[in-house]
Structure 1
Amino acid sequence: MTSLRSLFLVGEIGGNDYIFPFIFGRTIKKIRPLMPQVVAAITRARCMLIEEGVVDLVVPGQFPIGCTSLFLTLFQSANESAYDPRTGCIKPYNVFAKYHANFLKKELQIMREQYPHARIMFVYYYITVMSIYRTPKHYGFYGGTLRSCCGGGGPYNLNTSAICGHTGSTACKDPSAFVDWDGIHLTESAYHHIAKGLIDDGFTSPPLLL
């Protein structure tokens, strides 16, 4: 088998498997049992790549979905304890994302034992993005951390009747000042800081650069 020396970043996988059921009314309690299936699919995909010769593989976790303007809009709560007082994000959905990361990391350790010749690196997307949400101005984001740049109005600039790109929506003048682009995806500037964090700040385990 020929080794492929390129760095493979495949993911993040599994986000839509959780997000769409949430949007259509499934609760965290009902979706959590799906996690072993989602993580197993992720693991199988990575194993197939290694079997094809990949030796440097980056496996990302999930983003903190409780900070997205989509979830903040759809799952608003009158219960203040549901929100992180530091960031304004919805705590239960972020706890779910962290639970996924812990589950995935355990499976990756099994993969490392199965394929000792491969470098299987876990990417802490959650920690990387949360560092931005906690100190947005440090990264140059002044447009409102939890508001989307492109949307149709409302407290978080997300209106399900006028989502980004549809009639009634508008985009901000300076996307680089925003973290959230359209309610669920981040802006190019946010992704830039995430990439920088993975390369320079050690948000991978083991480290991306030796």
Structure 2
Amino acid sequence: MSSTTGARGLISSLGSKETQQCPVAFFNFGTSMTDTGNLLNLLPYSPEVINFAYPENPPYGNTFFRRPAKRYSDGRLIPDFFSLAFGVPLLDTYSSPTVFNFKHGVNFAIGGVGLTSEIAGSKYFLPLQIKQFNRFQNSAFTAQSQPECKPSFKSLPPRETFQLALYTLEFGSSDLRSAFHGGVSSAVITEEIIPTTVKSIIDSVTILYHYQAKNFLIFNVYPLGCSPQTQTLLFSENLPKDDLGCIATVNELTEAYNRELHIKIEDLRTSLPDANIILFDFYNATVDILRNPSRYGFDPSSVLKACCGMAGLGSYNFNPNVTCASEGVKSCENPERYVSWDGVHFTDSFYQTVSKFILSGHYTFPSYDFGEICGLNFSNFPSSATYEEVYGGLCNVWYA
């Protein structure tokens, strides 16, 4: 998608394997795909959450955490795998209600978030997360300028961290999904929603850049037409399928969004020449897994089915009226063999595979192998690992 110039720039900024000057912190902005607790901290057992899923109840979190951990998955999300690979504590949320450690960054992502908020039905869209980041940064700088605040320094990122951190942005899926399910026409999606959504991302990167951010990882959108939720909700419309067995029109519009994002990122590289911007091709990474499930440890017969759900229209094990963790709903016995967890979000195993792609430079443009350059350790990635084994002895407030 782009030249290797950006890769050289990132190496120059973050350092080589010899100097070990790799990301020292992570600031994540996103949706429920990367939300590690903000939504549940702000809206515990709220109607908005209950009508969607029950991530505060089992079987959510059963893998790795062995209990609900405020994540829309059976286990870990991409920010969790990044922390494991870099050997730092799991990224605390901005809304952390009790003990926190922000030395290695903050997670601002929140479930249900959209960029075109009137369509996605959410108040917690990206501009608000950017404002939260600015407030956090200003508060950290203020605290570090006051000697009496010195005891809190160990939980705050040093000033230089904001330039050396990696800023990850995972957006777009909520806006497109809401449009598809809301009956919005393809023309409106193409002419209004896609440009507005992409512009919000580009504007946010520019703002973060002026807040000292230099290194960015931006996700495009995975093939929404393969989602068990989308396949079920649009089942009665008898829409044509592509060669993956997914809804062709939905995937085509998702690809249109991704093309627009790519074009605007190229423009952004020109306007911010000293910024390092990596685009993760979430779409084609997911297509690779769906086309070659056995290669990555997934069951070919289950790649389009939800692990945790109940039968609905079609064969996707998704029922919008009886979602995962509802009374009487059980999860599959082998979630590590499934791509989709609850019909909307992915499994711990899927996120594990995708995280390895990103950190090894696969499906990233430009390609940047964090694993090689930073000497990363993926030994705690397998689903056999548990929180107690990896982080035993630490204060486990993430599920309070």
TM-score by length of 2: 0.49
Residue in structure 1 matched with residue 54 of structure 2 by the alignment: none
Residue in structure 2 matched with residue 54 of structure 1 by the alignment: 213
Give secondary structure in 2 for the equivalent of 1:10. strand
Q: Does 1:8 align with 2:167?
A: yes
Q: 2:364 corresponds to which letter in structure 1? A: T
Q: Does 1:149 align with 2:307?
A: yes
2:188 to 6, 30, 34: 30
Q: Is the 8 A contact 2:361 2:368 kept in 1?
A: no
1:203 to 360, 363, 371: 363
Q: 1:44 corresponds to which letter in structure 2? A: D
Structure 1 position 89, deviation (Å): 1.2
Structure 1 position 153, deviation (Å): 1.4
Structure 1 position 141, deviation (Å): 0.7
Larger Cα Rg: Structure 1 or Structure 2? 2
Quote the RMSD (CA, aligned, Å): 1.8
Q: Is the 8 A contact 1:66 1:72 kept in 2?
A: yes
Query: For structure 1, which segment, 115-124 or 24-33, has the greater mean C-alpha deviation from structure 2 after superposition?
Result: 24-33
Structure 1 position 201, deviation (Å): 4.8
Structure 1 position 129, deviation (Å): 0.6
Query: For structure 1, which segment, 121-130 or 136-145, has the greater mean C-alpha deviation from structure 2 after superposition?
Result: 136-145
Structure 1 position 25, deviation (Å): 2.1
Residue in structure 1 matched with residue 297 of structure 2 by the alignment: 140
Gap regions ≥5 residues in structure 2: 1-158, 374-400
Q: 2:176 corresponds to which letter in structure 1? A: Y
Q: 2:260 corresponds to which letter in structure 1? A: F
Which has more strand, going by share of residues? 1
Query: For structure 1, which segment, 70-79 or 185-194, has the greater mean C-alpha deviation from structure 2 after superposition?
Result: 70-79
Gap regions ≥5 residues in structure 1: none
Residue in structure 2 matched with residue 107 of structure 1 by the alignment: 264
Aligned residues: 206
Structure 1 position 21, deviation (Å): 2.4
Q: Does 1:174 align with 2:334?
A: yes
Q: Is the 8 A contact 1:60 1:122 kept in 2?
A: yes
Q: Give distance in 1, aligned partners of 2:354 and 2:302.
A: 18
Identity in percent:
27
Q: Give distance in 1, aligned partners of 2:335 and 2:231.
A: 20
Q: Give distance in 2, aligned partners of 1:158 and 1:92.
A: 20
Q: Does 1:91 align with 2:248?
A: yes
CA gap of 1:78–1:37, structure 2 versus 1, over 3 A, is closer
Q: 1:188 corresponds to which letter in structure 2? A: D
Deviations 1:45-72 (A, max 9, x none): 1111111111110111001001110111
Give secondary structure in 1 for the equivalent of 2:305. coil
Structure 1 position 41, deviation (Å): 0.5
Query: For structure 1, which segment, 19-28 or 51-60, has the greater mean C-alpha deviation from structure 2 after superposition?
Result: 19-28
Q: Give distance in 1, aligned partners of 2:270 and 2:183.
A: 39
1:20 to 144, 163, 178: 178
Q: Does 1:185 align with 2:342?
A: no
Q: Which runs of 4+ in 1 moved over 6 A?
A: none
Deviations 1:70-125 (A, max 9, x none): 1111112545xx1123x211111111111111101111111111111111111100
